[in-house]
A and B are shown apart, each in its own frame.
Chain A
């Protein structure tokens, strides 16, 4: 309860912030030719862009939930960065589910033209209800030559109560396409909420020397399930991808990394580095890693590292002996474990993510 209250404060601030950015800064953004508005507004003002790109990365027939979203989606965010423009602000949208019996189906489309650059932040919260709610979003990113898109998410949907009742089903399709040469897409996510999460932000690396990154922290507690990871499809030459995934499971939760790295036959000199670390808290939680790799080109270099560790009694004892309380000791160890990922987030987001983790872990060891 108290946790939800504290988090509500976090969200209220942020919602406030993002509304003000979206509304008050629109003019400032327009000076640069940047479009940042809702999809519904965009479909009226810029129908040619929407027609051309919406559904071009994730088609309506891609998967069950993408189909559902395509059929019923109501709104979402649209962002267009013109050629040679570095977006001077960080664009952010906070999603919130307020209604009790609802599914949320929003859609995000970001297009970065040649030599452009944008940082996009997404936050999600929802109040607690006993019933399950569905969140089935679709996010599409398109990066042209030498464009750079950074997409960061802090996801804190309601996770259900201690017995696993309620909580949001978070089934999201996120995919970016690096269509231009030397383009770059980075996904960074901090997943702490939702009853069940299935989410695999992916990159299709078509342009030569294009680059895809995926940095993830997923924390599960009580009866939460998180099944997340990334797909990197290498099509162009000298394409590179990097996957760093940190899973933390406590309570009776299940935390799974599921990833797919595919190197096509024409993707000469492609490289992938994957690192999957799992941290277990307590002795009833569960961590799994399923890295799938398919390589059709002999010039490929792929590295995969994985580790699983348990927060050790000795580590805890050491910190307790230094006057640090049990809760703080666990938070400190977990936040150290996630450090590599937090440094990829914009600063304010990193602080918020760190606080969120502390709240989530609070009292997870009895």
Chain B
């Protein structure tokens, strides 16, 4: 008997942007407690896939479906999907001039509380909540008073994305190349944070180009995506083979 409880089910998903077909019959099931790594050459549709799950308005779903706990989410707005517990750590986090990180995080946190019919909290209470999260990944509180992602280095932006994940405690986190731009120390810190955050009730999708992230965060499955679909699924050993032989090797097989 298999008691697996799927959080996310993607069925025969076809999607396009500006009339370019970007996903072709993509299928993927993610259960509670699983970490899925998605690898694949540039332009294979990995980032697009993550944005489509989050509900980016530029993408058009042609057919197929995405289910979250058995219910389709295709008709839901991006913030409704976020409230369900779908989180996307952006590959290129957006800068918002003049808005402090603190104000942004506080608003996001309160929006979530409000949606769950809980009382919103004042700034002082919030600061003690966020302090705890900062400590998990060793981030300095000076980040809070800076403008959201404005003038952040590539690595700082990625840390800030993980901070938001820790704060909003989503059930499904999609981390789009979070490891790119991180130095080795930051990568270790972030990985530790993610490992601590991960529980049996949650699931994570890691989109990455490199084995080094997967050395720290052990994936349950590794998928290789090409031309808008998953062409190979395996375990951690697949990563090692890919590092050695490259993606071309998969095709010749």
Kindly state whether residue A5 has any CB partner on chain B within 8 Å.
no
> Which of chain A's residues 285-318 have a Cβ closer than 8 Å to chain B?
312-315, 317-318
Kindly state whether residue A325 has any CB partner on chain B within 8 Å.
yes
Kindly state whether residue A10 has any CB partner on chain B within 8 Å.
no
B98 engages A339 (CB within 8 Å):
yes
B18 vs chain A, min Cβ distance (A): 13
Alpha-carbon distance A336/B164, docked complex (angstroms): 19
Kindly state whether residue A323 has any CB partner on chain B within 8 Å.
yes
Alpha-carbon distance A321/B112, docked complex (angstroms): 11
> Which of chain A's residues 163-201 have a Cβ closer than 8 Å to chain B?
none
**A residues lining the B interface (CB < 8 Å):** 312-315, 317-326, 328, 332-333, 335-340
Closest 3 CB pairs of A and B: A336-B98, A336-B99, A339-B98
Total cross-chain contacts (CB, 8 A): 74
A332 engages B77 (CB within 8 Å):
no
B residues in contact with A326, CB < 8 Å: 79
Kindly state whether residue B67 has any CB partner on chain A within 8 Å.
no
Alpha-carbon distance A68/B60, docked complex (angstroms): 59
Contact of B96 among A321, A323, A336 (CB under 8 A): A336
Tell me whether A320 and B103 are in contact in the complex, defined as CB-CB below 8 angstroms, given that A313-B57, A339-B98 are known contacts: no
**B residues lining the A interface (CB < 8 Å):** 54-58, 77-79, 81-83, 87-88, 90, 93-94, 96-99, 103-104, 107-108, 111-112, 115, 147-148, 164, 168
B residues in contact with A338, CB < 8 Å: 98
Alpha-carbon distance A319/B108, docked complex (angstroms): 8
B residues in contact with A315, CB < 8 Å: 94, 96
Sample (23) of A-B pairs whose CB atoms are under 8 Å apart:
A314-B94, A315-B94, A317-B56, A317-B57, A321-B54, A321-B79, A321-B82, A322-B104, A323-B82, A323-B108, A323-B112, A323-B115, A324-B108, A325-B111, A326-B79, A328-B107, A332-B104, A332-B107, A336-B96, A336-B99, A336-B147, A337-B97, A338-B98
Tell me whether A332 and B99 are in contact in the complex, defined as CB-CB below 8 angstroms, given that A314-B94, A318-B90, A324-B111 are known contacts: yes
A325 engages B79 (CB within 8 Å):
yes
B99 engages A335 (CB within 8 Å):
yes
Residue of A nearest to B54 (CB): A321
Alpha-carbon distance A324/B109, docked complex (angstroms): 9
A333 engages B168 (CB within 8 Å):
no
B115 vs chain A, min Cβ distance (A): 7
Alpha-carbon distance A322/B54, docked complex (angstroms): 10
Alpha-carbon distance A319/B95, docked complex (angstroms): 11
A residues in contact with B99, CB < 8 Å: 332-333, 335-336, 339
Alpha-carbon distance A122/B168, docked complex (angstroms): 42
Tell me whether A322 and B56 are in contact in the complex, defined as CB-CB below 8 angstroms, given that A328-B107, A328-B111, A339-B98 are known contacts: no
Residue of B nearest to A324 (CB): B111
